[in-house]
Structures are given as C-alpha cells and as structure tokens.
Amino acid sequence: MGAMNEALRKAAHLVLGMSLAGILVVRGHSAFAILVALLCLVIALSDALQRGYRVPVVTPVVALVERPHRIPLYGMILYTTSTLACLIFFGPAIAARAILALAVLDAAAALGGQRFGKRRIYNGKSIEGFGIGLVSATAVLFLCTEPRVALLMAGVGSLVELLSPIDDNLTVPISAALAANFFL
C-alpha cells in the first residue's frame, strides 16, 4: 500500500477513534445503545461489501482506506467491539481515554515508523515508530487525565501494540483501560 493510502487509512482511524471517544464523553453509559447500533450497522455493511454489493459512499471510502485482501470494515468492527467492552467493564471515562490512546498511538506509531523508522525491533515495527506513538499518546492523554495515568496507559498500549499477535484495535484499548483501572 502506498504512503498516501496509509496516511488516509490512519487519518480515518484517528477520526473514528476520536468520534468514539467523543460519544463516550458526551453520552456516558447511554452510549451503549449507540455503540451496539453502530456495531450492527458496520457488521451489516461489511457483509454487504463481502457479497459484492456497492453501497453509496461506503464502497469508495472502504476501497480507498482498507488494506487489500482484508474483510471490509474489519478494523472498525474490532474498534467498536473494544469500545463496547471498555464501556461495559471500565465505564465511560476510562473507555474514552483508552479509545483515544488507541486512536493517537496507532496513527502516530504507523506514520512515524513509516517516515522515520530505521531500526526494526519486532514484526516489522521500528523503535522510532514505537517511540513516536508512545510520546504522542502520552501527550494527548495528559490533556484528559493525570500524568502518571497518561504515561501508564500510553506505555501499556504501546507495548501491546508492538507485541500482540491479535489486532491492536481490540487489544490496545482493553489493555490501556486495564492499566488505568488500577489508578482511577
């Protein structure tokens, strides 16, 4: 995938994460119904796209930002699922921070690693991308939580993003929320 498509994909990832975090902040526990409806919609759209249907607006956007040979909207399905799990188990405040951590961390690490990554450390990921993701997520989380919690959430999220064999859209928010749960 070209650098432009990856940048668009990460921009979409960032917007989705910020939107999900915003829903959690504004709606609190009542965000549950919205998230369930969103998850059902995304699953239905994914199924329609897999069956070859063209869905106005969705089909061209997915073609532009989705990685080839992946289940359409797979990342969004996992993103929404992890948002729901974090809301259920940790509440809206921690869930919003965890989703924000994923949104910023993943985009910054991928784009930073793509641009500046020289030393590969694991699974094709670079120490530079890891560091850029960690610093970026920590800086953003500083704006909405105390510094030690921000650093812990970003640190745990960064390590999980680097090492987990499971999709980071699922693992990073849950692990960051678990880490925050010990301090908030």
Q: What residue segments make up the domains of the chain, in order of their start?
A: 3-181
**Nearest 5°: phi and psi at 122?**
-165, 135
What pLDDT, on a 0 to 100 scale, did the predictor assign at position 182? 84
What pLDDT, on a 0 to 100 scale, did the predictor assign at position 3? 59
Q: What is the pLDDT along the chain (184 residues), one digit of tens a residue?
A: 455 688 888 999 999 999 999 999 999 999 999 999 999 999 999 999 999 999 999 999 999 888 888 899 999 999 999 999 999 999 999 999 999 999 999 999 999 988 897 888 878 888 999 999 999 999 999 999 999 999 999 999 999 999 999 999 999 999 999 999 987 7
What pLDDT, on a 0 to 100 scale, did the predictor assign at position 69? 86
